[in-house]
Amino acid sequence: MTRKRQTQIEALASKTLMHAQAYQLPVNLPKVAKSLDIDLIGFDFGDEITGCMLRSDDGRVRIGYNDQLPTRTVGRFAIAHSMGHHVLEHFEYMARPEVSANYYTIFGISALDHKSRSEMEQEREANAFAAALLMPADLVLVAIQKCANPADYLRADLLLSVADRCQVSPQLMALRLSTLCALW
Ligand SMILES: [Zn+2]
């Protein structure tokens, strides 16, 4: 993804949060869904499927999320990712089921072999949107400042504290800080 596209996606995520009056941590996803006129529906999709975005003929959008996932943070990222497909107008399919490999293209290359380059690009874009939605740059940086003095930035639990503040996994927070060039 180009830096220009990343910037566009960051702006769209911010706009989405502002419009929903949800620009605070942790981001209230049901509130964002309501503002986007999306129905959120919990469902047991089994072990493989994390969620699914569905569009009906009348244009109504529903996001089914797997309510049996092992952690809440995985579920939140899955919902935000599906919202990304919606906001970024990835509308080729009426149903877009998600599997874990879609969130970590670098780990899931073999699983994604059957996907076209444009499909993979869309997964990356949805991930970028989800990261920007759940971890808005300004709010994350303020959260870091609140959690620690600069002298304590190497404290092992700082990442955990900020991730907890956003209700995302520490891995996601680390990736986000790297994307924001906030690590080094
Ligand atoms: Zn996806």
User: Tell me, what CATH number does 94's domain have?
Assistant: 1.10.10.2910
Segment 57-96, tens digit of pLDDT: 888 899 999 888 878 888 899 999 999 999 999 987 788 8
Inside any domain, residue 173: no
What domain count does the chain have? 1
Inside any domain, residue 140: no
- For ligand 1, a single-atom ion, the residues with CB < 5 A are 98, 102, 123, 126
Strand partners, 61: 38, 55
Give me ligand 1 centre to Cα 49, in Å. Answer: 11
pTM of the model: 0.89
Inside any domain, residue 89: yes
Inside any domain, residue 18: yes
> 60 lies in which domain range?
3-135
> What pLDDT is stored for residue 184 in this prediction?
55
Q: 25 and 165 in contact (C-beta within 8 Å)?
A: yes
Inside any domain, residue 152: no
Give me ligand 1 centre to Cα 151, in Å. Answer: 39
Give me ligand 1 centre to Cα 150, in Å. Answer: 37
Give me ligand 1 centre to Cα 26, in Å. Answer: 22
Segment 162-173, tens digit of pLDDT: 999 999 999 899
